[in-house]
Structure 1
């Protein structure tokens, strides 16, 4: 049995190091794409360990680059690994890994922001939302420039249970600038508490797994990097459409240093702003002199529930944008000033 188990265990054959692959294919991290390579396989192994038990799992890796994390995933005995890479320069190095792991690695040249994952894995992997998470995982050392828009996109997918979450509560392990990682996991009242904290935590259990020092990357970024693990919740803590929650949270944090009533006020047209802000805060039982970072997810749940009722009563309210009103008022003022000059 022991010999058979050993035969069954998969390890990649000896390959050039990631550093050698970078030299071999003349790869340079592109600053405008905010690329940073992680060369230390002990750290890439640690990222993969923090993801969970990947034996026989199906994994989607975003932005594999020269393939450091890719190697660690393949060595974790996965059933199947799909990598999506936008930069064609990395494809030959990844192809070398694919040749070394026959039938395990699929390489797609594409953009993670637009790639559709719905049909990437077999249907039999799908689980009911209430069940344990499926054997499908997302892992990525993301370029800093796409990490925030991508996590917002995936959080919206979680709220709709589509995209990568058509399989169930797919878990994600992703890298972010340390500051962004701290925002994603920040507690009520902390300095890092932000829009990202609420948007991530109302939909997921979010854990800051560990921090990787900037010096571990090539080229060395000016910041350290946080590894964050996301497990979608069975029940979201706010039961409203994603776009509505996003609008309430974004508006509230618009003036993060001021009392929360300032940000909440911009949800309403100026004519009735003060009356509606007061009504919303009172019905949601939120103290208007709390600052945005002091609001708990329960506060935001109440605010979103009340705002939804107000939008149902006034169908034009949800499409109202305070910036549009500001622009209109400015252009009216310009027209008025010009008319005054002509008199």
Structure 2
């Protein structure tokens, strides 16, 4: 049997041995190139401190990349029993540095596992990627030290939204929620052919580094409501799109010191935070 640089079988052989045909229902697209997974891992560091979390490790490509690049402790969250069996060989090879937890990532509080600093490095399942991100952002809103960094792979169009600037088509709710709390950088693209099965879109690895404090004061849930209303009708002026909030819209806009004829894509993150603070005083209790 051919061996990889870490002494373990190549990922294609692991997939064959454990019958790991990717499941569309789990959003699985396996990345098999250990050079690529190691590159992702290097961008997620420093890995030799605290705990590194991986979501949906599959056959273990990124898991092995993290361990080869010096991670002291990796906790992988996986609910596919086939993959959990396949990862036992990796656990054994790395003398307890890897712990695989049989859980649904959407129901797992990473801040209660491992030790700080906590970093997330993951090829996220496309079907739950933004839901997971928003969950972690809410945790950062409550505690900016919850995560030291998030190095995540998304569909390229999602990263375009995360890193967008005002007055562009990609600027939206996800932009505001992310950049409010994190410095966000697109690192590099990965083409569909690198995956098994190949997705229909290009993927992009992005790094999110939490700010020591948010760009401006706001309640995360109020900000979420404001951005949802504003971008839900992004072509309309705010005096119209914010009516769905059920508060005195002219007063909301006036007290937030926002031009009533502005559209959502024209506002800065700080201006959205101003709207959220005023909304917090006007919303029904």
> Given the two structures, how large is their TM-score scaled by the length of structure 2?
0.93
Comparing 41-50 with 256-265, greater Cα deviation is found at 256-265
1:137 aligned residue: 119
In the alignment, the residues of structure 2 paired with residue 89 and residue 28 of structure 1 have an alpha-carbon distance, to the nearest angstrom, of 10
Whichever structure has more helix as a proportion of its residues is 1
* Local SS of the residue matching 2:54: strand
Pairwise CA RMSD: 1.8
Distance, in Å, in 2 between the alignment partners of 1:201 and 1:56 is 25
Regions of 4+ moved over 4 Å:
none
Equivalent of residue 86 in structure 1, options 79, 102, 109: 79
CA distance in 1 between partners of 2:238 and 2:204 (Å):
29
How is 1:1-343 mapped onto 2 (pairs within 5 angstroms)? 13-122=6-115, 125=116, 134=117, 136-161=118-143, 168-268=146-246, 276-311=248-283, 315-316=284-285
Structure 2, unaligned runs of 5 or more: none
Q: In the aligned structure 2, how far is the partner of 1:120 from the partner of 1:168?
A: 11
Against the structure 1 CA distance between its residues 169 and 108, is the aligned structure 2 distance closer, same or farther, given a 3 Å change threshold?
closer
Query: Any idea what SS the aligned residue of 2:110 has?
Result: coil
Show structure 1 runs of 5+ residues with no match: 1-10, 126-133, 270-275, 317-343
Deviation at 1:32, TM superposition (A): 2.1
Structure number with greater CO (CA < 8 Å, separation at least 6) is: 2
For the 8 Å contact 2:77–2:101, the answer to whether it is kept is yes
The count of corresponding residues between Structure 1 and Structure 2 is: 282
1:64 Cα offset (Å): 0.5
- Matched-pair contact (CA < 8 Å) for 2:238–2:261: yes
- 2:55–2:124: 8 Å Cα contact kept in structure 1? yes
Cα offset, 1:168, TM superposition: 4.2
* Deviation (angstroms), 1:118: 3.5
Question: How many angstroms does 1:19 deviate by?
Answer: 1.1
State the TM-score, normalizing by the size of structure 1.
Answer: 0.78
TM-superposed CA distance for 1:57, in Å, is 4.3
User: Does the aligned pair in 1 maintain the 2:226–2:275 contact within 8 Å?
Assistant: yes
- CA–CA distance in structure 2, aligned partners of residues 13 and 46 of structure 1: 15
8 Å contact kept, 1:48–1:69: yes
Q: Could you tell me how far apart the structure 2 residues matched to 1:243 and 1:119 are?
A: 22
> Would you say the 8 A contact 1:254–1:263 is kept in 2?
yes
